[in-house]
Amino acid sequence: MRVPYSYLPRQFADPEPILDQIRNLVKRGDLTLGQPVEEFEQRFAALIGSRFAVAVGSGTDALFLSLKALGIGQGDEVITATNTFVATAGAIETAGARLVFVDCNDQFVMDPAALEAAITSKTKAVVPVHYTGQPAGMDEIEAIARRHNLEIVEDACTAIDGSINGRRCGTIGRTGAFSMHPLKNLNIWGDGGVITTNDPSIARQLRLLRNHGMVDRDTYAFYAYNSRLDTLQAVVGLQLLDQVTAITDKRIEIAARYDRAFADLDQIRIPLRYATQRHVYHMYMIEVDQRDGLLAYLKEQGISAKVHYPTPLHLQPASAHLGYGAGDFPVAEAQARRIISLPVHQYLSDEEIDYVISRVREYYQP
Ligand SMILES: *Cc1c(COP(=O)(O)O)cnc(C)c1O
């Protein structure tokens, strides 16, 4: 049996309904912004429960433009967790701010105590990452941000449909940044991102930032960027938006099966699960003994598991100028040697799930 990590061939085995919509669009010639993007933004905002949604070119741009809209750049410090996808850090640096890393906790999200310890007089914002789809500890982070007068930009790129203590990911910070990359839970046929906010002036600023600062065709408020969600991709997104809740529910169900199946294995550490949180399982990430051995064994057995990621960002060549070194963030560094992500996508069959479970168990209990 082969259990692939990617599900795109299954998801788009019949692309005709979406292609029909694209054909109509191309015939209308409505290829930048326009009605599909507006409709997509309205429905996305309704799904997340935010007042506004602004659709942009990628999740990375959603983070970058959020920082720009908040006036954050040169001379400012922005704090994020070292165990994130490269894009979180890239957006902070390209916005011109000083990147400051902190360690994560056993849930694979920012350690709030580490956040508070890293704040200086130059800190302007914190970018908590709902990594793997696990909501960051937003109650604590929000209290700290309030005490120190920091903006919060949520990296919700992997957390569409997530929530914590009744609050939806992407509605807690000043802005929330979402990605619709082909391997995110809401995916389109290329790159795309969305920024959510409840603040009308930030929403207005974001609409200008993503479209050359254009107030109208002939008036430019300031010089800015071109980062519009492609109208063609908005059409794809509109076809898939309604499926998000069902996709999350399916992923939660598969994760719960894995959790139960591995609960008795001493070699596996499953993060705590909280009834007050909706973890959307963009990844099913656990810590395991003999990680590289398990990874190789699963590969031999046709199961594509992954490591997200083997090197925390503070130890990457891209971080050399920041002056961090090995030992600075012990939790993230220890996890980097132990984490593994098993396939958890919504197209897995019961047989495939059972096969993954039996191979993992067999590795530890031959
Ligand atoms: C995917 C991702 C991003 C960036 O999204 P793109 O749409 O690929 O630019 C940012 N942060 C995290 C945590 C991500 O997983």
pLDDT tens digit at each of 366 positions of the chain: 899 999 999 999 999 999 999 999 999 999 999 999 999 999 999 999 999 999 999 999 999 999 999 999 999 999 999 999 999 999 999 999 999 999 999 999 999 999 999 999 999 999 999 999 999 999 999 999 999 999 999 999 999 999 999 999 999 999 999 999 999 999 999 999 999 999 999 999 999 999 999 999 999 999 999 999 999 999 999 999 999 999 999 999 999 999 999 999 999 999 999 999 999 999 999 999 999 999 999 999 999 999 999 999 999 999 999 999 999 999 999 999 999 999 999 999 999 999 999 999 999 998
Q: Is the backbone of residue 49 left (phi > 0), alpha (psi -120 to 50) or beta?
A: left
Q: Which tokens hold the place of 199?
A: 């603040």
- Each as own residue / partner, the long-range contacts of residues 312-320 (CB below 8 Å, 24 or more positions apart, any chain) are 312/82, 312/83, 312/336, 313/82, 313/83, 313/84, 313/86, 313/89, 313/101, 314/82, 314/101, 316/86, 318/86, 318/89, 319/89, 319/99, 319/101
Tokens representing residue 101 in the block:
């890393």
Query: What is the distance in A from the centroid of ligand 1 to the CA of 183?
Result: 10
For residue 53, report the distance from its CA to the centre of ligand 1, in Å: 17
Return the ∠ at Cα 7 (arms to 182 and 156), rounded to 5°.
40
Test site for ligand 1: of 56, 78, 88, most ligand atoms within 8 A of the Cβ: 88
What does the alpha-carbon distance between residue 162 and residue 170 come to, in Å, rounded to a whole number? 9
Protein residues with CB under 6 Å of any ligand 1 atom: 58-60, 84-85, 87-88, 129, 155, 157-158, 179, 181, 191, 193
Dist. CA 334–CA 312, nearest whole Å: 10
Phi, psi of 294 (to 5 degrees): -65, -45
Residues 154 and 177: beta-carbon distance below 8 Å: yes
Length of the chain: 366
The pTM score is: 0.98
Residue from 59, 30, 42, 21 nearest 239 by CA: 21
